Copies of this chain bind each other. A is one copy, B any other.
Amino acid sequence: MMVTMKKIAELCGVSRGTVDRVLHGRGRVSEETAANIRRVAQELGYEPNPAAKALAARKHQPKVCVILPSEGNAFFDDVIRGLRTAAAEYQIYGLSMELLTMKGYDPERMLTLLDKAADADAVLIDPIDDARIRERIDAFVAAGKFVVTVNGDLPDSRRHCYVGSDYENGGVTACALLEAFTHGHAVVGVVLGSRSISGHRARLGGFEQRMERSPGLSIAAVVENDDDEFTSFERTKAMLQTHPDITALFLIAGGVYGACRAVKEFAPERRPTVIAFDSVPSTVEMMKEGIVQAILYQHPYRQGHRAMELAFDKLVNGREPYKEMYLLNHEIRLLENV
């Protein structure tokens, strides 16, 4: 019960210092005693006490730098709230957080922000899919920084782990929901943010995959809105005019409000069933008006909180993340449980 280094030291007839050296591999310790210590620690199931670790680590004053393309995107509001709440909780351990934000998806701009993260011990980032960004992340990891991707991933980089939603499952779930809402018969119009965003592609892929089991569902058209409300409005309107047979709308990205404004241009009896992502205020408003029937919620608060928690565990407790992908399931929400 409650194995400590002290106890191991006593059992092995050595000092705590020696045990520490062995267990942390920072030794110059004879192989004989080292082996013995390792064996005893193993057998007794030694686990370092996080409280003691945190206490002893207070001099480090670890810095966490957060980089998000969040400006003008309400989705990130709750991500940031989760990050801040967690950071406040960990402040007492000397942990501090710096938030760097940008608007849009310009790699150059993100590289500038990454420059500012040079002195951070950990970097939490929603990365743009760009070779230079990936290289910079790899360099950070090589320099000993702890790197977590949030909301968006860069799977072929060397980042330690990813926190975010399972995009493909989001598409699958959306399709199943649409099937239930329409009794399996619908002609779907899809509004994409951009094909260059891997998460959006994955969602559409999941949707199409699930659609193979729904013979009554078909996709009439796919438009891109670049996450912009006005582009969203115009292209959605054009799509609905060109395809009067559309009975359902699948909104994969931002620009939900713009698409809904387009829907409102049509008479109520011609309006499609609409499914979207995220419960940002303007989308909730559209739910109240009956334009959007359901959303898929991506747990933004939990994404932020979890990412910061991982940084804390690593930096303060010295605990590695126990898995590489922290995937949050999409949650189906109606107006009644937003």
Contact = CB atoms under 8 A, between A and B. Distances in A.
Contacts of A55: 49, 51-52, 55
B332 A333 contact: yes
A78 to B, nearest CB: 15
A116 interface: no
Contacts of A51: 50-52, 54-55, 93
Contacts of A210: 336
A329 B302 CA distance: 14
A10 interface: no
Interface in A32-54: 47, 49-52, 54
A92 interface: yes
Given A51-B54, A51-B93, A181-B181, A330 B337 contact: yes
A50 B92 contact: yes
A225 interface: no
Interface stretch (A66-74, A170-178, A251-259): A170-178
A6 interface: no
A294 B176 CA distance: 11
Interface residues of A, number: 34
Interface string A273-296: 000000000000000000001100
A47 B92 CA distance: 7
A298 B122 CA distance: 35
B336 A293 contact: no
A267 interface: no
B92 A336 contact: no
A336 B49 contact: no
Interface string A241-283: 0000000000000000000000000000000000000000000
Given A55-B52, A92-B47, A294 B334 contact: no
A2 interface: yes
Given A92-B47, A92-B49, A173 B334 contact: yes
Given A49-B55, A55-B52, A94 B2 contact: yes
Interface in A292-333: 293-294, 329-333
Interface of A: 1-2, 47, 49-52, 54-55, 58, 91-94, 169, 172-173, 175-177, 180-181, 210, 293-294, 329-337
25 contacts: A1-B94, A2-B92, A47-B92, A49-B55, A49-B92, A50-B51, A50-B92, A51-B52, A51-B54, A51-B93, A169-B336, A172-B337, A175-B336, A176-B334, A176-B336, A180-B293, A180-B334, A181-B181, A330-B337, A331-B331, A331-B332, A332-B332, A332-B333, A332-B334, A332-B337
The 3 closest A-B pairs by CB, nearest first: A51-B54, A332-B332, A176-B336
